[in-house]
Structure 1
């Protein structure tokens, strides 16, 4: 009986020692970093198309409007976390209606914006350019702003309103209002 008790005791000790050694075989590992989406990047170059209208008064004081189709190229710089600085060149074509002739327009704009969320940018824009038609050319200035939404990782949609004035001796600070919507690709 003693041999049998001794054999059972040795077998139990072997099982307990084996379990203790198995617990020591756990190898510590470093945790994997958690992946976070980078969000939309407003930095860098972009190009796109826009359409809308320009609304003004004719010589008789009647409200008139023209359809506008154009494009823009620009570059943005994030100077601080929510603050964006940018430069943009717009080229637009204003279609003829009963009161106004066809006209072309080029604007160079500076933009100052704030990134409200990763996908929303609110900005102010100011600049100068030229508007021309068959009869004459006019130096113009623009002041306004807009909001831009990130639609995908590289595409944004924008709504913009600019007040347009000429550098001649006009009575009004703004002689026209220009409202556009556009789609832009960010490189």
Structure 2
């Protein structure tokens, strides 16, 4: 009887140990999170270069800083910072400097400097549309004239830090000398920007 009780006890112990080992083989796992890219981060500091053209109308700036009815080449740079107060609204401040040249009979190369405000909307993770307004000055050997610009553009993210932008603005001066159009020239530029 003792042997039989001992055999039953050993068998029961073996079954319990086996059951405990089987329970240890089940390892709980948590599923891996699904990675979803966040899209381009539009906020923060950026710097870039741009080129394009300026097209003056029949009424040029009053002080003769640009030649009327002329096309200028434009090369320049921009530095700015963007803020996103709420999705999808973007606000920004930007400073631009452009060198403009022409090769016509009346050569009037000049530099333009602007301080701009931008307001836009992020339409997709990688695309932005915006309006722009700014004040500045046009500078030549003859002197400086105060100018303003209003316009807008579209910007696309190429990768995590680089964007490409197309922009068009109408420009005028603060003079009241007749004839004085509100927009006396138009500037179209394409630029590449690096976002920090």
State TM-score, norm by structure 2: 0.81
Alignment correspondent of 2:4: none
* Distance change in 2, residues 1:58/1:135 (3 Å): farther
1:146 pairs with 136, 142, 153, which one?
A: 153
Alignment correspondent of 1:10: none
Is 98-107 or 147-156 further displaced after alignment?
A: 98-107
Report the 3-state secondary structure (helix = DSSP H, G, I; strand = E; otherwise coil) of the residue aligned with 1:169. Answer: coil
Question: Could you tell me how far 1:130 is from its partner in structure 2?
Answer: 0.3
Contact 1:96 1:103 (8 Å CA) reproduced: no
* Alpha-carbon distance in structure 2 between the residues aligned to 1:136 and 1:24: 86
Matched, 1:75 2:84: no
Report matched runs for 1:14-93 at 5 Å. Answer: 22=22, 25-58=25-58, 63-93=69-99
Unaligned stretches of 5+ residues in structure 2: 1-13, 61-66
Contact 2:53 2:71 (8 Å CA) reproduced: yes
The count of residues paired between Structure 1 and Structure 2 equals 177
2:188 pairs with 168, 179, 182, which one?
A: 179
* Distance change in 2, residues 1:115/1:133 (3 Å): same
* Alpha-carbon distance in structure 1 between the residues aligned to 2:138 and 2:92: 22
State TM-score, norm by structure 1: 0.84
* Alpha-carbon distance in structure 2 between the residues aligned to 1:30 and 1:59: 71
Question: Could you tell me how far 1:185 is from its partner in structure 2?
Answer: 0.3
Alignment correspondent of 1:5: none
* Alpha-carbon distance in structure 1 between the residues aligned to 2:22 and 2:158: 54
Question: Could you tell me how far 1:59 is from its partner in structure 2?
Answer: 5.9
* Distance change in 2, residues 1:110/1:137 (3 Å): same
* Alpha-carbon distance in structure 2 between the residues aligned to 1:96 and 1:63: 11
Question: Could you tell me how far 1:26 is from its partner in structure 2?
Answer: 1.4
* Alpha-carbon distance in structure 2 between the residues aligned to 1:96 and 1:102: 6
